[in-house]
Amino acid sequence: MFVGHYAAGLALKKVEKRASLGVLFLGVQFVDILFFPFVLLGIERINIIENFTDATHFELEYMPYTHSLVASLFWAVLVYALFRWVIVKQKGIALVVALAVFSHWVLDFLVHTPDLPIWKDASTKLGLGLWNSAIATYTLEALFLLAALWLYLRSTTAKSTLGKYGMAVFVVVLLLVNIVNVFGPLQGDSKVVLAVSALASYFLFAGVAFWLDKTRS
């Protein structure tokens, strides 16, 4: 799952308004932000295979340290501890950022073909496999994102014209980007290009979310 993860960020902002939306957007992609450098370092493995599923060109072969259930819980607890006792020292914020980190696994579980391990044991891998239908994948991500946008807009107030329309336009842009992501052809077989473009989009989208959130209160 790609843009659908941001639904968790927008929804958690409603739960804890003091949390930064930019931080929540990084939180929901935290394990992917670790995954791509891990791939380049040879710690985890992805294989680029054209049309591996209807919605992706990737076989996610080995990723226990980022996408296993145990690792996801570990990262969420670690992030909780950092925000609770080091960064903001605020329980509510620490909790929603940790939930954002763990939400990644839950949403990935819906779409991934069984490639999410419990821990390192390769014989038990989970995933409901919505990726076998590109239309179903796209629809689910779009519904999540639109529902979360609605929650976010209802729980915040615009401070300017940009504040009034900015976040909705941003969500439309994310949905357009996801058309290419879900239905588009293979963009090339370079893992470096894949990793760099994925990481760039995660930080860019978090930056835009941070900026647009400042236009609402």
Residues that bind Zn ion (CB under 5 A): 32, 108
Under a CB-based contact definition with an 8 Å cutoff, are residues 97 and 78 in contact? no
Nearer CB in complex with Zn ion: 32/44: 32
Minimum gap (Å) between residue 179 Cβ and Zn ion:
19
Q: Which residues contact 74 (CB under 8 A, 6 or more apart)?
A: none
Give dist(CA 64, CA 127) in Å, integer: 14
Minimum gap (Å) between residue 75 Cβ and Zn ion:
12
Nearer CB in complex with Zn ion: 66/156: 66
Nearer CB in complex with Zn ion: 32/141: 32
Minimum gap (Å) between residue 136 Cβ and Zn ion:
18
Give dist(CA 210, CA 76) in Å, integer: 21
Nearest-CB residue for Zn ion: 32
Minimum gap (Å) between residue 31 Cβ and Zn ion:
6
Three-state DSSP class for residue 196 = helix
Q: 71-102 in b/e burial notation, b at 16+ Cβ within 10 A? A: bbeebbeebbeebbeeebeeeebbbbbbbbbb
Minimum gap (Å) between residue 190 Cβ and Zn ion:
19
Query: Which residues on adjacent β-strands are paired with residue 137?
Result: none
- Nearest to residue 90, comparing CAs of 102, 80, 77? 80
The residue with tokens 């927008």 is: 10
Nearer CB in complex with Zn ion: 182/212: 182
Minimum gap (Å) between residue 69 Cβ and Zn ion:
13
Nearer CB in complex with Zn ion: 144/167: 144
Nearer CB in complex with Zn ion: 108/213: 108
- By CB atoms closer than 10 A (0-12, 13-18, 19+), residue 192 is exposed
